[in-house]
A = this chain, B = another copy of it.
Amino acid sequence: MTTYTAPARDMQFLLHDVLRVSEQDIPGYAEMDRDFTAAVLEEAGKIASEVLHPVNQTGDTEGCRLENGVVRTPTGFKQAYDQIRDGGWIGLDLDPEYGGQGMPYLLGTAVGEAFVSANMALNMYWGLTHGAINAIHSHASDELKRIYLPKMVAGEWSGTMNLTEPHAGTDLGIMRTKAEPAEDGTWRITGQKIFISAGEHDLTENIIHLVLAKAPGGGPGTKGISLFIVPKFLVNPDGSLGERNALSCGKIEEKMGIHGNATCVMNYDGATGYLVGELHKGMRAMFTMMNEARIGVGLQGYAVAETAYQNALAYARDRLQGRDVTGPKNPEGPADPIIVHPDVRRMLMDQKSFVEGARAFAFWGASLIDRSIRAEDGDAHGLISLMTPVIKGFLTDKGFEATVQAQQVFGGHGYIEEWGMSQFVRDARITMIYEGANGIQALDLVGRKLGQDGGRHTMAFFEMIKRFIKENEGNAALKADFLDPLKAASKALQEAGMYFMAEGMKNPHNALAGSYDFMHMMGHVCLGYMWTHMARAALEGLEAGGGDEAFLKAKLATGRYYMARQLPAVGAHLARIKTGAAPVMALDPEAFDH
């Protein structure tokens, strides 16, 4: 019932007119010319629309089934997965040494967005593999890399991350899963992990679990945690599959959404594991995986909203109800299409201005990752580290909101499963929760990232915006609609930061009680910054002529909408922050009943 078309034109605009990739001094970027990225995006878009999206709704309806320890994915998932694997998409941006194509992470992000938009639940199977590969790549021994990476990069084996236990989610320090050393240098892993996405399935011949466990001799809390590779099937020295390892899927959870992805309870019963990186330093390795995963979840947040928006737009143009109060727009028909009504327009503009701003933010973030890794730029690393909780928390909160709004455009039909909008909402909901619930992202931002490296990256962030405003203030077309509101919002954000510094010293609760609002303020400032960049590029394009004039004008109008109608939210956030902890903590835990 729903459809999806990859927004290739918008992606090209971002890559070439806003980020100007081929001019950037990042290894691998010079090859990214317009024709090349157009070809990649066209092919990815085709697969997204024709292979992945057609099994999205059926995947939701059918869900996964656990039968005799084996998980059956929904009809068509295997065939779709095979096409992704055979096309080499999984290794698009991975190390050529292990069979990857070595493209920039930025291009992987653009392709990833299209795949997630088309079928979030299915994309997760290789999305998690991607994270597992990077953790192994960064931390495991050469031997482990040689054994596992080629098969994983090729998509023949998939990967998972095993952190959560029934009593230990955010607080990993209290986990109970144990690792005992065996005589042959391997480890025996025993314990139960929950919420393991793609923990068991029928898409690949082997599943490589990355498992956090406590090995003897570590300190208390997270200090004692180590990371292990625990494969579903042990691997023989010649690379062929050996015995089944002592692990199993005990249950798959009935969830609100992403039914096509199997969320497993995993039982490890003395399973053979291989230490990744140093003993008792597992958290560091896991963070590699988690940071990538967080950015990936931020991408899911707006990617699902994009598909919901496309379908809401089509419905708003098609559905005839009522008349434009200023005069009929479809006088021959029984009523006007609902897109004529200002309140329907408001909903569509909210969604469009969010999704396009979010896309720019995610792409910019991806370019920072490339700059950090490929150009070994420490400042870029610091900046993306600061941005990670904002990308995750803000884009998923707002992405969910936008998806709910898209559903709202459908009226009663939005509530009926057949129309597909309910699935988008149910799928999008998880993005606010997993990989660290959004409250944890806010805590990470305010409690850790703002002050990291002496606050250097935070200062650089504000400096960057200030410099950008200064460089462009002569541009009259940008001034009132973009630069002025950006300046005001950025100032408000700085004011909030100052408040935290002054009042957080007295009582850290004063900062933490405002952390969530700060994350949202920062998200708005980032999107405002992105919109100002996009507006500048659109104005340049219009001046140069010869481009897609209608697209560039729509871009400017959408940006003006964001600046005028979304950015003012920062004022309310600042007001909340400046109340401090007092109203938030006024009630004792016992006093909450009414």
Contacts and interface: CB of A to CB of B under 8 A. Distances in A.
Interface of A: 7, 9-10, 164, 167-171, 174, 194-195, 253-257, 313, 316-317, 320-322, 325-326, 334-335, 337, 339-349, 352, 356, 400, 404, 407-408, 411-412, 414-418, 422, 425-426, 429-430, 432-434, 437-439, 442-443, 447, 507-509, 512-513, 515-516, 550-551, 553-554, 557-558, 560-561, 564-565, 568-569, 571-572, 575-576, 579, 581, 583-587, 589, 591-594
A587 B562 CA distance: 13
B509 A342 contact: yes
Nearest to A513: B342
Contact of A568 (B326, B416, B576, B581): B576
B411 A342 contact: no
Nearest to A164: B412
Given A171-B321, A417-B254, A576-B565, A343 B557 contact: no
B429 A425 contact: yes
Contact of A342 (B414, B430, B512): B512
A170 B411 contact: yes
Contact of A587 (B10, B164, B439, B557): B557
Contacts of A335: 171, 174
Copies in the complex: 2
21 contacts: A9-B594, A167-B334, A169-B412, A171-B321, A253-B418, A254-B416, A317-B589, A341-B439, A343-B442, A343-B512, A346-B584, A347-B439, A348-B592, A400-B404, A553-B591, A554-B587, A558-B587, A564-B583, A568-B571, A568-B572, A568-B576
Nearest to A414: B433
A403 B68 CA distance: 37
Contacts of A512: 325, 341-343
A569 B572 contact: yes
B571 A422 contact: no
A184 B499 CA distance: 78
Contacts of A170: 321-322, 411
Contacts of A425: 256, 429
Contact of A349 (B253, B352, B432, B587): B587
A30 to B, nearest CB: 27
| A400, A515, A586 — most chain B CB neighbours (10 Å) | A586
Contacts of A426: 256, 426
A327 to B, nearest CB: 11
